[in-house]
Amino acid sequence: MYALVDGNNFYVSCERVFRPSLVGHPVVVLSNNDGCAIARSNEAKALGIAMGAPWFEIAHLAESAGLVALSANFALYGDMSDRMMSLAAGLGPGQEIYSIDESFIDLDGVRGCLTQRGHKVRERILDWIGIPCCVGIGVTKTLAKLANHIAKTAERKPGSYPEHLALVCNLAALTPPALQEVLAATEVREVWGVGRRIAAQLKESGIHSALDLARLDPAMVRRRWSVVLERTVRELQGLACIELELAPARKQEIACTRSFGHPVTHLADLGEAVTEFASRAAHKLRAQGSLAGQVLVFIRTSPFRPQAQFSRSIITPLRRPSADTGVIVAAALSSLRAIYRPGYHLARAGIMLLELQPNTVLQGELDLQEGAAPQRTRLMTTIDDLNQRYGRGTVIMASAGLAGDRRAWTMKQERRTPGYTTCWADMPVVRA
């Protein structure tokens, strides 16, 4: 038995904790570069704003409907997430943190009424952290996910589901006919693992609701679609196929990619950007105790612009696996020089670290040259410590350039809220 605890409109809810005046008003949080809406309050959803809607297409709603748009403040959301997760963990013996705003809880061995316990945790998160969330409970993770969707929808759109399923929905407590009714009222697209493409294919075959999908023959689904969808069907039928992952697995790839605030044409500017991306990726790499074997760099123009398009990437193997910022930046910059062509308005660049391996495994080598200098590892640890203690960007590679407006490529964030919980200077002050 699993529960899924999921924050409602999470980024918007985080902002509202510190700006309660936003409650009741349509609010969206924008992606990097203030590009498109990645979180919407219920009021914003009611205005018809779609997930991912470009800001320039909905900006007129600020005037006409009082829509408030904020730049994404990921430091704030990450910190609020940690607080929410620690309370959600109280629901059962195991927790999988699935994304920034949702976690699965293992309910095995939990006694008492699960629905009541769900309500208690929900209220505690709302009281202590200020984040509204919904709880879904089911025999499998897929059913818990679906239950959570139903809990949210029942609250947001009264009449869509029985009233008692709002906020906390325990599908395992329903009678079989009641469960069927609820599944029949749920679009197949809402099932975890069914995306746009597969939903369209299913509909063509007359599979419209979650109930229709649950009634399919798993073997047929495997033949016609895939083993992935087969698992989804079995999970809907109550057979657990997807396990709880208590510890996050080591990443197999680490990426850092960004769109630019303005089009970039010069190699020098690109070099600064790529240096910063590579430095950040190398830091993430060390944080999970890995080494990278390859570095991928790409640059590209905007596919939305009519001008000449350009998109190139290159993979450069490292001489030996490394987590050294200097080594990774050097590889990234020489890769960049290899693919760069002047004359294009580049909109985006990025780096990916590939062929990751644990830093505890070191391949011996037949090499008469000197090996990796051991003091470099200590240098990297020192840099990470300094940046941890005094803030990101305290110690950087010189080729990243100096921060400030001078940098042509930095992203646009015109509506960023303060780091209320992560920066001393931004901490709210209570006055008597």
Contact 413, 71 (CB under 8 A): yes
List Cβ neighbours of 208 (8 Å cut-off, separation of 6 or more). 187, 188, 202
**Which residue has 């006409």 as its token pair?**
64
Among 20, 109, 127, 249, binds DNA (CB under 7 A): 249
The residue (of 16 and 258) whose beta carbon lies closer to DNA is: 258
Among 94, 130, 162, 263, binds DNA (CB under 7 A): 263
How far apart are alpha carbons 68 and 301 in whole angstroms?
Answer: 30
Minimal distance, residue 149 CB to DNA, in Å: 9
Sole window of 31-39, 159-167, 391-399, 421-429 interacting with DNA (rule: CB under 7 A): 31-39
115 binds DNA (CB under 7 A): no
How far apart are alpha carbons 189 and 316 in whole angstroms?
Answer: 40
How far apart are alpha carbons 138 and 178 in whole angstroms?
Answer: 14
Among 125, 256, 292, 299, binds DNA (CB under 7 A): 256
- In the three-class reduction of DSSP (H, G, I as helix; E, B as strand; rest coil), residue 106 is classed as strand
The residue (of 120 and 284) whose beta carbon lies closer to DNA is: 284
The residue (of 79 and 355) whose beta carbon lies closer to DNA is: 355
45 binds DNA (CB under 7 A): no
The residue (of 122 and 145) whose beta carbon lies closer to DNA is: 145
Where in 164-193 is the site for DNA (CB under 7 A)?
Answer: 191-193
Contact 348, 302 (CB under 8 A): yes
The residue (of 166 and 273) whose beta carbon lies closer to DNA is: 273
* Closest among 195, 203, 193, 211 to 142, alpha carbons compared: 193
Where in 357-396 is the site for DNA (CB under 7 A)?
Answer: none
Contact 268, 405 (CB under 8 A): no
Continuous segment of H or E residues that includes residue 298: strand 290-301
CA dihedral defined by 401, 407, 408, 413, rounded to 10 degrees?
130
Sole window of 343-351, 385-393, 399-407, 419-427 interacting with DNA (rule: CB under 7 A): 343-351
258 binds DNA (CB under 7 A): yes
Size of the site for DNA (CB under 7 A): 48
293 binds DNA (CB under 7 A): no
The residue (of 9 and 170) whose beta carbon lies closer to DNA is: 9
Where in 194-213 is the site for DNA (CB under 7 A)?
Answer: 194-199
The residue (of 228 and 427) whose beta carbon lies closer to DNA is: 228
Continuous segment of H or E residues that includes residue 143: helix 141-156
347 binds DNA (CB under 7 A): yes
**Which residue has 């644990």 as its token pair?**
358
Contact 81, 101 (CB under 8 A): yes
99 binds DNA (CB under 7 A): yes
The residue (of 64 and 375) whose beta carbon lies closer to DNA is: 64
- In the three-class reduction of DSSP (H, G, I as helix; E, B as strand; rest coil), residue 118 is classed as helix
Contact 147, 169 (CB under 8 A): yes
Minimal distance, residue 47 CB to DNA, in Å: 18
The residue (of 288 and 377) whose beta carbon lies closer to DNA is: 288
431 binds DNA (CB under 7 A): no
Contact 279, 396 (CB under 8 A): yes
Contact 282, 325 (CB under 8 A): yes
* Closest among 277, 272, 308, 309 to 295, alpha carbons compared: 277
43 binds DNA (CB under 7 A): no
Where in 394-413 is the site for DNA (CB under 7 A)?
Answer: 411
239 binds DNA (CB under 7 A): no
Minimal distance, residue 233 CB to DNA, in Å: 13
Task: Return residues touching DNA (CB under 7 A).
Answer: 31-33, 35-36, 38, 52, 54-56, 98-102, 145, 191-199, 226-228, 249, 251-259, 263, 284, 302, 304-305, 347-348, 350, 352, 411
